[in-house]
Amino acid sequence: MHTCCICVADSDEASARLLADGLKLNEYEVRVINTATEVSRECRKGDIEVLVLDAALGNADGVALARQLKADRQTSDLVVLLALDKAAQKRFSIEDALGVDDYITKPYNLPMVMIRVETLIRKRRNVNCLKVGEDPLGDTSYTDELTGLRNRRYLLERLQEEVEKAHRYNFPVSCVVFDVSEVEALDDELGAVSLDDLLVELAMAMRNYSRTFDILARYDGTMFAAVLPHVDRDRAVQYAQKILSEVENTTFADPCYPSKTRLSAGIVACKNGSARGAEAVLGEAMQGLLAAQSAKGGRVGVRDLSDGP
């Protein structure tokens, strides 16, 4: 794999240098700049793969700058990792996320930055490989081989990180767990679609309704999970209902083994200020799922984790 060129755009020179030194230790080529004008000029040179962009870059709006870069044909393939300080975290919205590939918090947590950068680089290069017909190499330690989603290990690590950030920066985060309730063969002679084929298509449906930095994983067997940063309970319910509706209105593996399937979902929302471990949060989502599956006609079970009584 060739050396990746990463641009660190941060008006705080000390923070920028700290991050740059950490990236260099991991054998990345690093370019440090401090202004929005430099960002546009450097990124148009075409050799930068990843831009770590401070949301508060001097007097510039980092989110708006990210959108401009994504809209420009010369820089549309650029991977943008937005860095948010405490103030920017509070202002960050779902709409803002449309212009970035992922986000990190400041002060920089170097190990987590490295994980994010490596994941984004791999994703970008895999997409480029697919465009030219090559066979991309996946991240086997964090990826479910069947569906291409993340696995249980990655889910728990990232869920823990997001719950801690939600507590530290006072924003909501939700976790949604999906499970297959039933599969119906529409042709008795042909039978139902194979379970593997069904799970792959369910994973595709989840991707279609998720943001770039939402954390999607196959938890176990027929169970999937999604971690939704900056999403409160009501929006999480809307997200789950869209996926349930999409799945239940789709005929899978048609025409070979036409089948219909039904999902149930469990949702837990951590309200502002909640500080819980990943296992506890996921456990609450599972409780919501069980409640939905046991209720007559139930599809969605919702739980809340909030501070106080």
Residue 23 predicted with pLDDT over 50: yes
Give the tens place of pLDDT for each residue, 48-58. 999 999 988 87
Which of the 8 DSSP states describes residue 205? H
Q: Which two tokens stand for residue 115?
A: 């994980």
Residue 10 predicted with pLDDT over 80: yes
The lowest-confidence range among 97-111, 208-222, 279-293 is 97-111
Q: Which two tokens stand for residue 180?
A: 């297959």
H/E element, 181: strand 173-185
Short-list 80, 44, 40, CA closest to 63: 80
Q: What is the pLDDT of residue 137?
A: 40
Pairing mode, strands 259-270 and 173-185: antiparallel
Give the tens place of pLDDT for each residue, 276-291. 788 889 999 999 999 9
| Residue listed under structure tokens 């996926």 | 243
CB contact at 8 A, 219 and 155: yes
Mean pLDDT of 116-143: 61
Average pLDDT along the chain:
83
Give the tens place of pLDDT for each residue, 33-53. 999 999 999 999 989 999 999
| Residues 249, 242: Cα–Cα separation, whole Å | 11
Q: What is the pLDDT of residue 134?
A: 44
Residue 300 CB contacts under 8 Å (≥ 6 apart), including other chains:
237, 240, 241, 244, 264, 265, 266, 267, 288, 292
**In whole angstroms, how far apart are CA 12 and each of 16, 38, 92, 211?**
6, 15, 20, 29
Q: What is the pLDDT of residue 248?
A: 85
Residue 118 predicted with pLDDT over 80: no
Report the percent of the chain where pLDDT is more than 90: 34
Q: What is the pLDDT of residue 127?
A: 55
Mean pLDDT of 220-228: 94
Short-list 242, 67, 276, CA closest to 172: 276
| Residue listed under structure tokens 């030194």 | 21
Give the orientation angle of helix 62-71 with respect to helix 36-43, to 10 degrees.
Answer: 20
Q: What is the pLDDT of residue 170?
A: 83
SS3 76: coil
Mean pLDDT of 78-95: 79
Give the tens place of pLDDT for each residue, 176-208. 999 998 787 766 766 777 788 788 888 888 988
Report the percent of the chain where pLDDT is more than 70: 84
130 versus 98: the higher-pLDDT residue is 98
Residue 131 predicted with pLDDT over 60: no
Short-list 52, 55, 50, 54, CA closest to 77: 50
Geometric angle at alpha carbon 123, from 133 and 172, rounded to 5°: 145
CB contact at 8 A, 244 and 263: yes
Residue 255 predicted with pLDDT over 60: no
| Residues 229, 100: Cα–Cα separation, whole Å | 14
Mean pLDDT of 17-24: 92
CA-CA-CA-CA torsion sign (200, 206, 211, 214): negative
Give the tens place of pLDDT for each residue, 228-243. 999 999 999 999 999 9
Mean pLDDT of 72-97: 80
Mean pLDDT of 77-84: 90
Q: What is the pLDDT of residue 285?
A: 94
Q: What is the pLDDT of residue 217?
A: 96
Residue 215 predicted with pLDDT over 50: yes
Domains and their CATH numbers in the chain: 5-131 (3.40.50.2300), 152-305 (3.30.70.270)
Q: What is the pLDDT of residue 128?
A: 56
